Amino acid sequence: MSTEILIIDDNSDIRNIINDLIIDAGFNTRLAANYNQALNEIDKKLPDVAIIDVKLDKGDNDGLELLSHIKAKDKNIPVIIITGHANVEMAIKALKTGAFEFIEKPFNQERLLNFINRAIENINLKNKNKEFEDKLFSSYDLIGDSVNIQTIKDQINKISISESRIFINGPTGSGKELIARKIYKKSKRQKGPFIVLNGALLDIEKYELELFGEEKDNGSILYGALEKATRGILLIDEISEIPLETQSKILRVLTDQKFKRINGSHDINVDVRIICSSSKDIKNEIELGNFREDLYHRLNVFEINIEPLKKRISDIPHLVKYFTEKISSSYNLKKLNIDANNKYLLQYDWPGNVRELRNLIDRIAILSPESEDKISNIIKESLKTPDIKSLPSENSLSVPLKEARENFEKEYLTTQLKKFNGNISRTAIFIGMERSALHRKLKNLGIKELN
């Protein structure tokens, strides 16, 4: 699938220049000329990369609102911010919100294309990591000795043999899909398919197509998730993100146990066990009018609640030991000697939950530190919460944007180099930059490489 880049700029000349540049580079584009068009394009389908002008037609800095909107949907999407009204405060705000890069108008086309290529490399690397994780995922176990995990294991054993619908509640990264897969493996439907439909990632206009499928004019059939999961289990992840209109149709399917494909003329009988999950407080979503209460009661025949990792600290040493063995084996490395009772691991809040812990162990495995002290330093630096007080005050920022950016990059790269004892390769991997590009950046900034 070709990379798609969304260009958002209210200046038609700039929009067309960027569009031509990107198409010539071999990528696909979508265009938006104002805030509402951009919002519609983002909600319709998330791009692989977005380029957003800061000031559109809605008000000052409305491009930053779009940046926040994209990051709320998928924090991994690289967003390049462009502006003709640059100042230091705006640059810092954009970077804090998650911008991948910040470039001023008039911009150098080669520099912008370099940013775009780096953004695409970044997202491709993350996608490859996700594919690798997916391959590992099916073999993972539910690890922990906390009351919460022991309760869930007991629930899985009891409800797997039934045909009851299940609703799994828990924060992002806590293991909701893993629980669903464990139920599947113990169920009577284990020889059937296990299909995952992620409500948060679907194109808003294609929910029903993805669920019900379509009969095309040429006679061909596009099968939806309900048919793909026949005699198996369908996991609807982040079901709270599905539009109300589609929720009504799901309710009708649960009631009638049949549905029609889009443009179809005959009923398709349903033979699927449905498991749903949500990282949002679903009862709050019902009160807000975002989710149908009658559908919730249909889906929530049995409820499983998994707590955030910070509430089950006793599970952390077990998870560290487990992931260390698992990941070392997958990389064909000797077993990492990670102290499972490291104070930084036990005192951290883990906003990304078990997934964040697994990613940390993965990072340590890639860097292959030679001693326990180096492992501990990686853990300490990786889990360090940014000190907002150490950031420059927006009221006291008076230097030009270029100088402020260089000062930030110089301080950041110097810190990272020290963290990895001057090792360029490991520093480049950690910050997501090519080794040669890092050498050039250090030279341009006047940073001496450590021996």
Q: Write the pLDDT tens digit of every residue in 159-203.
A: 999 999 999 999 989 999 999 999 999 999 988 889 999 887 777
pLDDT of residue 71: 82
CATH code of the domain in which 246 resides: 3.40.50.300
The answer on 215 and 92 residing in a single domain is: no
pLDDT of residue 395: 41
| Amino acid at residue number 286 | I
The answer on 227 and 171 residing in a single domain is: yes
Instruction: Indicate the residue among 89, 117, 135 that finishes a domain.
Output: 135
The answer on 158 and 235 residing in a single domain is: yes
Domain containing 208: what range? 138-307
Instruction: Indicate the residue among 135, 159, 177 that finishes a domain.
Output: 135
Q: Is the pLDDT of residue 72 over 90?
A: no
At 442, is the secondary structure helix, strand, or coil? helix
451 assigned to some structural domain: no
The answer on 321 and 301 residing in a single domain is: no
The answer on 198 and 287 residing in a single domain is: yes
From CA 8, how far away is CA 18, in angstroms rounded?
Answer: 10
The total domain count for the chain is: 3
450 assigned to some structural domain: no
The answer on 429 and 369 residing in a single domain is: yes
Is 234 within 8 Å of 274 (Cβ atoms)?
Answer: yes
| Amino acid at residue number 130 | K
Q: Write the pLDDT tens digit of every residue in 111-169.
A: 899 999 988 888 887 777 666 555 555 567 899 999 999 999 999 999 999 999 999 99
pLDDT of residue 308: 95
The answer on 235 and 88 residing in a single domain is: no
The answer on 382 and 345 residing in a single domain is: yes
The answer on 289 and 155 residing in a single domain is: yes
CATH code of the domain in which 436 resides: 1.10.8.60
CATH code of the domain in which 51 resides: 3.40.50.2300
From CA 432, how far away is CA 126, in angstroms rounded?
Answer: 10
The answer on 247 and 352 residing in a single domain is: no
Whether the full predicted model's pTM is greater than 0.85, yes or no, is no
Instruction: Indicate the residue among 289, 307, 325 that finishes a domain.
Output: 307
Pairing of strands 258-259, 268-269: antiparallel
Is 273 within 8 Å of 225 (Cβ atoms)?
Answer: no
The answer on 150 and 255 residing in a single domain is: yes
From CA 254, how far away is CA 358, in angstroms rounded?
Answer: 36
The answer on 296 and 153 residing in a single domain is: yes
Q: Is the pLDDT of residue 80 over 70?
A: yes
